[in-house]
Every structure is written in structure tokens, then in C-alpha cells.
Amino acid sequence: MVSHDARGNPSGSGSSVARDAVETALWRMMSFYDTPLADLDAATAADPGWALPHVMRAGFLLSLTEPALCDEAATHLVTARTLIDGAPAGEQTHLDAVQALLEGRWQTACQRWDAHLVEHPRDALALQWAQLWDFYRGDANGLRLRPARALPEWSAGDPLRPFVLGLYAFGLEECNLYPQAEDAGRQALQADPRVPWAVHAVAHVMEMQGRFEEGSAWLRQHQPAWADGNGFAGHLWWHKALFRLEALDVAGVLRLIDNHLSGDAVQITLQRVDAAAMLWRLHLLGHDVSGHAAALAAGWPAGDAEAGYYAFNDVHRVLALLAAGQGAAAEAWLARCAQRALDACDVRRSNHAVAREVGLPLMRGLLALERGDADAAVDLLYPVRTLARGFGGSHAQRDLIDLTLLAAAVASSGSSRRAVGRALLNERLMAKPLTPLTRHWLQRLGSAQEVSA
């Protein structure tokens, strides 16, 4: 007799103990409460012949975007491959998709999950993972439309439905559909207050609309649900710092960095990325954060496989090095990334084209700014900003490109490059009310009349 999971998807295990452990692991992956590893161990102990827990362990490790974890992920996939015969098609799809992730073929993995979800729209693991790698690839339509295709097939009382609604809310936000995104996020939290991804989606809406005081209050309101024992807490602290930065509350930002975005609070590269991005924003405003940045850069993994693994992370490493005043190290890092991006052996990797089109030009623009060639920085960064979605992250994260361009425009010579800065400020003014941060850049760039004179 074929077994099924809690949503009716065929399962490769006849052990209810193993299936329950995998269900808990899945909830942890969607909610970020603790890691799923102990539950996956329990599933394997209950059913050593089940491939899926090994696939889930590999996928979880790869989701951290740490090259140092790839070997361990590969070992789990080899084990899974020995157990996969006779498993349901969905579990074979997960194995093939995670194998594609391991090989750097992120788009292929998402295509596998897409095809599977057409017939199995209640496969929560496929929805969760595909959204994560949509995010890493900057595929806003995928973020929105995949959960949209699935949600009507979910029953209202399913305990994982609020998490899928949270995925949808974030996809709506990344497609600039802010009222719908906020509504979906609030609905998810009404059904289950412990959905950090939905808290996050609404915070993004408030960020994009310049509602920085409301955003701080929103995160504070939901803080009991996300601040303790949750793997997503670091990113939500980062959002809180972003709201304080919009208010030009630099002391508040530094306090958040000291308490939540430095030292022992930063354990993995996803957290390093957020810390670097916040330090860079302060650096652009003229604050000396070199001590924090040097400590952050020193903790970044040093293995040979690091450079060129993921362009988004690579750029943030440059931000940390430059904010630390380590221009030579940043140059050397760029050279290693460039070498990897041209490696013909890795031609199938999704990241390599992105590195060539987005990552490397961005790093060159950042380096130009730091060596005092603001004109070159504007010329390098401005064309890339329209392509930058492809290297992943959110609008809010990629906003650091515009902020860097503003700083470069201020320091540039001649009116044409300052006009670029003014044009970017006009975008901000049309998108959200005049915030203290936007006013700061307006004052530094001068009036529109001065720019055009």
C-alpha cells in the first residue's frame, strides 16, 4: 500500500514515525525555527531505507550558499541515489533537482520543481525550495506565480498553508504589488503568527513605501515570534536596521549591528552578506565602520571554492573588504572571481553568466569608487543596475547599488554624472515619501536647477 504525507502526496516511507519526523523537518525549513537536521536524523533512524531525508539534508545544506558544505551535500545525494529505486516520482524529482543545485544549475532545479508542482501543487517542499532558488536567481515572477498556481489547491485548515501564503506575499512584493503583498502577509499571520517569511514580506512592503517608523513598529510587534530560536532572525534585524537607516538614526543602526549583526551573531555567509550590506550603507554616509568591517571580512571563509560560487555573496565580500579599507584584498578577490567566471569547465553553472554580466562589473564599480575614481564608478554601476535583478536578492538588498551610485554621483566631476544621481533620487521621490535618508542625498547632490545648470 502506498503511503502519503500530510497533504496527500505519495511518500516513499511506510514508517509513520519517519514521515512525522520529515513533516517536522519540513515545518522547520518553512518556518526557520531551528535547523531540520535532528529531525532528518530521526527520520533516517526510523526508516534507514528512505531516500528523502538524505535529499532534504543535502538541499538544506545547499540552501546556505556555502561552498564548504557542498561535499557533505554530495555525500548525502550519493546515499539517496542508492535508496531511490521504487520511490514516488516526486521524491525522484527532489533528488534530481537538488543534484542540479549541487552542480550549480539553479534554473534547471527550479524548472524540475515547476513541472512537478503542476501535478502536485501541495508539495510544500517543492514550493519552499523553488522559492528560495528563485530568490537567489532574482526571479520575481517565479516568486509570485508559483505559489499562486498552488494556493487554490490547498485547504484552508492546512497548517502549512500560511507558509505558502507567506511565499506568495513575498513574491507579490518583489513584483511591486504592494497592497496585495501586505494583505497576503497579514492573512498568513492571522492564520499563524509564527510565519517569519510573512512578517518579512510585509516589512519589505513598508521598506519599499518608505514607511520606516511603521516598519520598525511592525517588526517590534512580531518580535516575540522571530527574534529567538529562529534562523531568519538575523535578516529581520537587518530589516530593522534598514528602517533606522531610512530615519538617519545612525546610533540606532550601530546598536543593532553591535547586538545582532556582528560577532557571534554572524555564523554563516547569508548573515555576513547582511552585515556587509549594512556596514557599506553607513560607509557611504561617511561613517567609519572599518573596525566592524575588518572583523567581518576576517571571518569570511577562505577556501579555494569560495570565489565565484555565488555572485551576490562575492559582491558583498567586496563591500566588507572596502569598508574595512582593504582595497588590495578586494582587488585580489575580484581577480579570483573573474578567473572562476571564465572557467570553461563550469559553463553550465547558472552563476557564471550572472557573475560576468552583473557581479564583476559591480565589483569593478565599487573598487573604482574606493580608489577615488567616482566618474568611472558611475559609468560602471549605472548600466548594471538594470541587470542586477539577475544576481538575486530583493529590491531592498539591491538598493545598495543605487545608494552607491548616489555617493559616486556626489563625488563625480561634471554635470552629467551628477544628473544620474538626481535621476535616481527622482525615482525614490516618486516611489515613496521624502525620507530623512533621501533628504540627505538631495542635500548632497544639490537642487535640480544646479544639476542642470
Q: Give 271 or 394: the residue with its C-beta nearer to Fe ion.
A: 394
Scanning 180-188, 327-335, 393-401, 411-419 for contacts with Fe ion by CB under 5 A, the matching segment is 393-401
Specify the residue, 15 or 394, whose C-beta has the smaller distance to Fe ion: 394
User: What character string, x for contact with Fe ion (CB under 5 A) and - otherwise, covers 352-391?
Assistant: ----------------------------------------
* HSE of 447, CA atoms in CB hemisphere, 13 A: 3
User: Whose CA is closest to 296, among 266, 330, 331, 334?
Assistant: 266
C-alpha cell at 102: 549541487
Q: How far is the CB of 450 from Fe ion (least distance, A)?
A: 35
Residue number with CB closer to Fe ion (131 or 394): 394
Q: From CA 284, how far away is CA 136, in angstroms rounded?
A: 25
Q: Which is nearer to Fe ion, 394 or 438 (CB)?
A: 394
Measured at the alpha carbon of residue 136, what is the angle toward residues 84 and 441, in degrees to the nearest 5?
170
Nearest to 408 by CA among 435, 381, 434, 386: 381
* Binding residues among 394-413 for Fe ion as defined by CB under 5 A: 394
Q: In terms of CB distance, is 46 or 203 closer to Fe ion?
A: 203
Cβ at position 329, least distance to Fe ion in Å: 28
Nearest residue (beta carbon) to Fe ion: 394
| 166, 195 Cβ separation under 8 angstroms | yes
Stretch that binds Fe ion, among 70-78, 148-156, 370-378, 392-400 (CB under 5 A): 392-400
| Cα–Cα distance for residue pair 87/68, rounded to 1 Å | 29
| b/e sequence 83-105, b meaning 16+ C-beta within 10 Å | bbeebbebbbbbbbbbbbbbbbb
Checking phi first, is residue 210 left (phi over 0); if not, alpha (psi -120 to 50) or beta? left
Which CB, 50 or 238, lies closer to Fe ion? 238
Q: How far is the CB of 312 from Fe ion (least distance, A)?
A: 13
With the C-alpha atoms ordered 110, 23, 1, 80, is the resulting torsion angle positive or negative?
Answer: positive
Least distance from C-beta 272 to Fe ion, angstroms?
Answer: 15
Q: Shortest approach of Fe ion to residue 66 CB, angstroms?
A: 19
How far apart are CB 82 and Fe ion at their closest, in Å?
38
| Residues, the chain | 453
Q: What number of chain residues touch Fe ion (CB under 5 A)? A: 1
Cell of 85: 529505486
- In angstroms, what is the minimal distance from the CB of 426 to Fe ion? 25
The footprint of Fe ion on residues 284-323 (CB under 5 A) is none
Neighbouring-strand partners of residue 11: 3
Q: Which is nearer to Fe ion, 98 or 206 (CB)?
A: 206
Q: How far is the CB of 393 from Fe ion (least distance, A)?
A: 8
| Cell numbers for 23 | 513533516
Q: Whose Cβ is closer to Fe ion: residue 163's or residue 333's?
A: 163
Work out how close the CB of 207 gets to Fe ion at its nearest, in angstroms, rounded to a whole number. 8
What is the distance in angstroms between the CA of the first residue and the CA of the last residue of the chain? 79
Q: How far is the CB of 394 from Fe ion (least distance, A)?
A: 5
Q: What is the largest CA-CA distance in the chain?
A: 79
208/380 with CB nearer Fe ion = 208
Cell matching residue 35: 535547523
Our CB check for Fe ion shows the closer of 24 and 394 to be 394
C-alpha dihedral sign at 389, 390, 393, 398: negative
Distance from C-alpha of 184 to C-alpha of 190, rounded to nearest angstrom: 10
- Angle between helix 269-284 and helix 311-323 axes, rounded to 10 deg: 50
Binding site for Fe ion (CB under 5 A): 394
